[in-house]
């Protein structure tokens, strides 16, 4: 009888919590939507001075000054608006979308500290709201912006093809999209600042959205008859997909957010990547880290758990219940607080997973995702559970309650007027940092839509496989199994570092950058203090190399003499294990 009462009480509590979230969704949805529109020039009520189609990050001008337009934020915001327009949820947005296209076309051509349109300028993170260059010091380049802008515009282009003509898209939209895709294809493996603008290395979020952009870009190019670029886009997408696998940390059971930075790698970056590369047709594919994949779920648990004990407002919350989450546990910006968009992203990933499980009529528990599911059903075992089973019903209901808990957490710390800042205090939940953050509003809307079962059109993630031979170039590091005349050599070095310091390698062959310190390859600290990278080097060759240190991407020091040296085998793969000297 006692067990029955406890079960009944749990059901009642769940119903009350859902009702609370339903109420928040109903009241906050129009506020969040208006919050976005208020921040878009020229007529948004809080965007004075912004040109048409320009998205301001926030109207805040002091502590912090966010009255700029970021390519990343703008693209994510307009992707959400384009989704609403195409789905029929808001057919009044066409003018705003066209303004966005025109504005981004102008910004692409603005010379800036990252370069011109043809020399790297597309990687510039943000601009003044009058569409002029921001020239002060900043973490640049940031290579996720072009990929995200291409993805937003490709969705709009696909709608235009159906509703106007192919020639219209070829003339008016394809030139803008192609500039971004060409940039991604050429520079995807160059060092980049992460989406938090702090770490210069390779970033999971950036790599994931770059991969998506080239896949859907190749499909669009084919539709438009622009076939000359398709082969290169597909080839580079395969190389990116190969590199994407290297972020997985099997020992820790999570996706490492950045290859540099000296942090744990537990970061909202990975949940954001999962939801912004969600393809409902791909099911629970782990190769592209889909939201319901075992790796993405395992990683989500590790990320969420990292915040349970560090925020005062999370004290006393059960170990399997939702909590407020921030960017990463080591964060100190503005005191290191929960972010509305990060907490919403957790909910959205879970809602996306529920969409797929419902559609496919089953749920799969693997050894990797087992700890995630055991939060809700400790007795669950590895296996596949059809929708007709009680295990499926129990788990999906629990995940829905868990997801709603993250929305409820944001709701608890949303001011009475519904305005969403960037952060809320880790100690008392009061709004912190920039007010009316456009990305906070957009993240809230997309989480609400996922809760209602909405999913954007797929982008070609279904059925992809990692190529057996991968090639990399530039400063981002790489993976591979070797090609003709090459062997895959894994370099491991034990080296302790401080925050912002990273380990690189350079050496005597082209694939090791010919002793260049500028283009030296950054190693991955997923198993810190072991730093690793796999590089395809010439077979049967005498190869010399050294490790170097850089701080925030700036050369610091070589390891001591003599050079490291080995003879590569004639085939297969090879591992060298070193200790920094």
Catalytic residue list: 194, 197
Name beta bridge partners: 350.
none
Q: Contact, 171 vs 533, CB < 8 A?
A: no
SS3 501: strand
Tell which residue, 476, 456, 402, has the closest CA to residue 277.
456
Tell which residue, 522, 49, 58, has the closest CA to residue 256.
522
335 contacts: CB under 8 Å, gap ≥ 6: 425, 426, 432
Name beta bridge partners: 362.
386
Q: Contact, 344 vs 328, CB < 8 A?
A: no
Q: Contact, 541 vs 275, CB < 8 A?
A: no
Name beta bridge partners: 112.
115
SS3 string of 249-295? ECCCCEECCECCCCCCCCCHHHHHHHHHCCCHHHCCCCCCCCCCCHH
The sign of the CA dihedral 49, 126, 429, 270 is positive
Overall size of the chain counted in residues: 581
Q: Which residue has the tokens 């793969």?
A: 573
SS3 471: coil
138 has binding-site annotation: yes
Count CA atoms within 13 Å of residue 547 on its CB side.
25
Residue 435: left (phi > 0), alpha (psi -120 to 50), or beta?
Answer: beta
Go through 400-419 and write b for each residue having 16 or more CB atoms within 10 A of its CB, e for each that does not.
bbbbbbbbbbbbebbeeebb
SS3 33: helix
Q: Contact, 244 vs 181, CB < 8 A?
A: no
Q: How many helices (H) and strands (E) does the chain have?
A: 14, 19
Measure the CA–CA gap between 387 and 376, rounded to whole angstroms. 17
SS3 string of 198-238? CCEECEHHHHHHHHHHHHHHHHHHHHHCCHHHHHHHHHHHH
Q: Contact, 466 vs 286, CB < 8 A?
A: no
Measure the CA–CA gap between 535 and 350, rounded to whole angstroms. 36
Annotation: binding site for substrate: 138
Annotation: binding site: 138
């Amino acid at each position: 009888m006692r067990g029955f009462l406890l079960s009944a009480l749990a059901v009642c509590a769940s119903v009350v919590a859902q009702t609370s979230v339903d109420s928040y969704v109903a009241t906050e949805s129009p506020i969040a939507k208006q919050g976005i529109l208020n921040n878009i020039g020229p007529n948004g009520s809080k965007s004075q001075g912004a040109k048409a189609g320009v998205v301001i990050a926030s109207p805040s001008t002091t502590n912090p000054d966010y009255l700029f337009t970021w390519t990343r934020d703008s693209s994510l915001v307009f992707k959400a608006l384009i989704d609403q327009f195409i789905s029929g949820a808001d057919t009044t947005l066409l003018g705003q979308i066209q303004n966005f296209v025109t504005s981004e076309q102008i910004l692409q051509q603005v010379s800036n500290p990252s370069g011109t349109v043809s020399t790297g300028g597309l990687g510039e993170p943000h601009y003044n709201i009058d569409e002029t260059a921001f020239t002060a010091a900043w973490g640049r380049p940031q290579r996720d912006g072009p990929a995200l802008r291409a993805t937003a515009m490709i969705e709009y282009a696909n709608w235009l093809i159906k509703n106007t003509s192919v020639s219209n898209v070829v003339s008016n939209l394809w030139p803008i999209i192609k500039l971004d895709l060409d940039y991604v294809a050429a520079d995807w493996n160059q060092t980049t600042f992460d989406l938090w603008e702090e770490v210069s290395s390779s970033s999971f979020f950036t790599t994931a959205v770059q991969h998506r952009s080239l896949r859907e870009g190749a499909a669009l190019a084919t539709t438009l008859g622009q076939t000359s670029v398709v082969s290169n886009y597909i080839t580079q997408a395969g190389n990116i997909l190969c590199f994407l696998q290297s972020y997985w940390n099997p020992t820790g059971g999570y996706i490492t957010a950045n290859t540099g930075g000296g942090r744990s790698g537990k970061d909202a970056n990975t949940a954001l990547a999962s939801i912004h590369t969600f393809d409902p047709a791909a099911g629970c594919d782990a190769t592209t880290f889909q939201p319901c994949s075992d790796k993405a779920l395992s990683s989500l648990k590790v990320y969420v758990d990292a915040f349970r004990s560090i925020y005062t407002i999370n004290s006393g919350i059960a170990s399997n219940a939702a909590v407020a989450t921030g960017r990463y546990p080591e964060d100190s910006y503005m005191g290191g607080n929960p972010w509305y968009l990060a907490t919403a992203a957790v909910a959205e990933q879970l809602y996306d997973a529920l969409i797929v499980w419902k559609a496919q009529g089953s749920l799969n528990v693997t050894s990797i995702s087992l700890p995630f599911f055991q939060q809700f059903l400790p007795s669950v075992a590895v296996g596949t559970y059809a929708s007709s089973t009680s295990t499926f019903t129990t788990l999906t209901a629990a995940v829905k309650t868990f997801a709603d808990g993250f929305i409820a957490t944001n709701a608890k710390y949303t001011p009475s007027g519904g305005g969403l800042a960037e952060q809320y205090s880790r100690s008392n939940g009061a709004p912190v940092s920039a007010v009316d953050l456009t990305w906070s509003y957009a993240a809230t809307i997309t989480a609400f839509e996922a809760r209602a079962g909405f999913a954007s059109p797929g982008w070609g993630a279904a059925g992809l496989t990692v190529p057996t031979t991968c090639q990399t170039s530039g400063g981002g590091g790489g993976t591979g199994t070797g090609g003709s005349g090459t062997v895959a050599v894994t370099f491991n070095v034990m080296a302790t570092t401080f925050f912002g310091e990273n380990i690189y390698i350079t050496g005597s062959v082209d694939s090791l950058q010919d002793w260049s310190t500028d283009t030296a390859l950054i190693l991955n600290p997923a198993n810190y203090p072991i730093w690793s990278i796999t590089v395809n080097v010439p077979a049967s060759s005498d190869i010399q190399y050294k490790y170097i240190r850089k701080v925030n991407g700036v050369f610091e020091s070589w390891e001591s003499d003599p050079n490291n040296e080995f003879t590569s085998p004639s085939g297969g793969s090879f591992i060298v294990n070193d200790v920094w000297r």
